[in-house]
Amino acid sequence: MNPPAARLPRLTVVIICAWLPAWSALLAAAAETAVTEAKAIVAPTVKVPAYHPPFDAAAAGLTPLFDGRTLTGWVGDPDGWKVVDGAIVGVKGGQNLMTEGYYDDFRLIVSTIQVDSPTNHQGIGFWGEAMPPGKYGYGGCIDIMPPMNWTWDYTINRGAPGDLSVSRDLDKELGLKRSEWTQAEILVNRTKGTIRMAVNGIEVLAYTDRNPARLKRGPIGLQAHGGNHDVRYKDIFIEVAPKNDRLITTK
């Protein structure tokens, strides 16, 4: 003879029934979150204004780092970086796209725009270590954030502690915004620990590190800062070991 089937007390049944709608709502919310997060890594379809940088880096003899069509020559999370309308687009925050090549002294000219998060920021990293395969951050680099005059030292995780001889905020001076296309020229010398930057032909940053011996030859990284789902970089050119230690885009 089989034992009688177990029966839940009436109170237990009532409690379970009362929780079912709430549990269903939680599952629906979780599903919606998952869909939202999945959408975050889809290539953006937002159309941004066409942009013709004020300085012709190709005519000046610089070498392109980006072919305008593919990520050839770059290393990064394939879900985090796309090519859209001739620009490299960071679609997943907390990521860096790194050059395959390593550099110490260079001149970089690049156009940038912040699309969906106008209060977030762009970033160019250098003098650090590439992460192991499968990791997509940037170990211990110096980061500057055109078109702003900001710096960050990831070896100490705070603003770069060196000496500033030039630091101009073009947002306050001219109303220049991160959410608009701008062109930056970045000139760095690792031995001297110097960093200079001009934006749209105006020098905005001149920085000297107090201990340049600590700086490392490494890749150049494009940053998609945390929370960023559409930050764009294009018209990327480099001069390695520049012959002239001066900014060439300044007016």
pLDDT at 230: 95
Is position 127 within any domain?
A: yes
- The model's pLDDT over 154-164, given as tens digits with 9 standing for 90+, comes to 999 999 999 99
Find all residues with CB under 8 Å of 146, minimum gap 6, and list them.
110, 112, 122, 124, 182, 184, 186, 197, 199
* Measured distance CA(18)–CA(182) in Å, rounded: 57
Q: What's the domain range around 161?
A: 63-240
Main-chain phi, psi angles of 17, to 5 degrees:
-65, -35
Q: How many domains does the chain have?
A: 1
pLDDT at 46: 79
* Measured distance CA(19)–CA(7) in Å, rounded: 19
Instruction: Using the predicted structure, report yes or no on whether residue 250 has a pLDDT greater than 70.
Output: yes
Poorest-pLDDT segment among 43-47, 114-118, 143-147, 189-193: 43-47
Q: Is the dihedral of CA 38, 227, 142, 99 positive or negative?
A: positive
Is position 172 within any domain?
A: yes
* Measured distance CA(83)–CA(103) in Å, rounded: 24
pLDDT at 5: 43
Is position 245 within any domain?
A: no
Is position 76 within any domain?
A: yes
Is position 29 within any domain?
A: no
More confidently predicted of 132 and 220: 220
- Average pLDDT of the residues in 91-112: 95
More confidently predicted of 38 and 123: 123
- The model's pLDDT over 34-61, given as tens digits with 9 standing for 90+, comes to 333 334 456 676 788 889 999 999 999 9
Is position 202 within any domain?
A: yes
pLDDT at 118: 86
DSSP state for residue 50 in the 8-state scheme: -
Is position 47 within any domain?
A: no
The CATH number for 121's domain is 2.60.120.560
- Average pLDDT of the residues in 14-31: 39
* DSSP assignments along 145-169, one per residue: -TTS--EEETTTTBS--SEEEEE--
